[in-house]
Amino acid sequence: MQLVFLGAPGVGKGTQAECVAAELGITKISTGDLLRAGVAGKTRLGLEAKHYMDRGDLVPDNVVIGLVDEKIGSLECQNGFILDGFPRTVPQADSLSDILRKRQLVLDRVIYFVMPREAVIKRLTGRRSCPQCSAVYHIDYRPSKRDGLCAVCGAALVQRNDDKKETVELRLAVYEEQTSPLIAYYRKHHVLAELDGMGSVDDVQARLLALLPTS
């Protein structure tokens, strides 16, 4: 199964991609995670991406398209995958079609996460992340049981640079301008399904699974 999770930053795509990928035995591909790993490892690509990411802008298409192409071709994606945070522009969506076509794959569904803007801002600015193991928390909705520390590995939790209020506003503007046209793009291709992103992780997951093709 090949899926795309589409929606504004902060709507819960990453969390759901994690759960649903585990449930279906397929691989989550998060371009944000791949880029952050490059930044942490100080790779050439990571260093190039860092300043775009810190200010809330998109990394150039050619960088992320190359990453996704390589990942889709890897053994771990053999049974299928969920793309989380890709595509984010129309050229990326066109490239994804080419990448799938050359491997004789089809896009089974694009799940579009819908959520009011105020809820998205609250989710992003309250998010805290573990710099060591990438676990994600929220000061109100999912606080760590170990105050300020990661419950998994004990590292001190941080607020991602791009989750600060000013950067969040910019990321949402970038989403509106460059990514939201993909809603119409995929609706035209008859693969889009709308998902209400509000509610608990379990409730959203149940609604999401009901939107997937059965075979």
Task: Rule CB under 6 A: say whether 85 interacts with ligand AMP.
Answer: yes
59 binds ligand AMP (CB under 6 A): yes
Dihedral over Cα of 35, 75, 105, 2: its sign = negative
Q: Closer CB to ligand AMP, residue 40 or residue 206?
A: 40
H helix runs in the chain, sequence order: 13-24, 31-40, 44-54, 61-72, 90-102, 117-125, 165-174, 181-188, 201-210
Number of residues that bind ligand AMP (CB under 6 A): 17
- Least separation in angstroms between residue 214's CB and ligand AMP is 29
Question: In whole angstroms, how close is the CB of 88 to ligand AMP at the nearest point?
Answer: 4
Give the C-alpha separation, 162 to 127, whole Å: 11
Phi-psi sector, 134: left (phi>0), alpha (psi -120 to 50), beta = left
| Interaction mask 173-212, ligand AMP, x per CB under 6 A | ----------------------------------------
Tokens 């590995």 correspond to: 153
Binding mask 28-57 for ligand AMP (x = CB under 6 A): ---xx--x----------------xx--xx
Burial class (CB in 10 A: 0-12, 13-18, 19+), 126: middle
Residues with a known catalytic role = 13, 88, 127, 160, 171
Nearer to ligand AMP, 88 or 128 (CB): 88
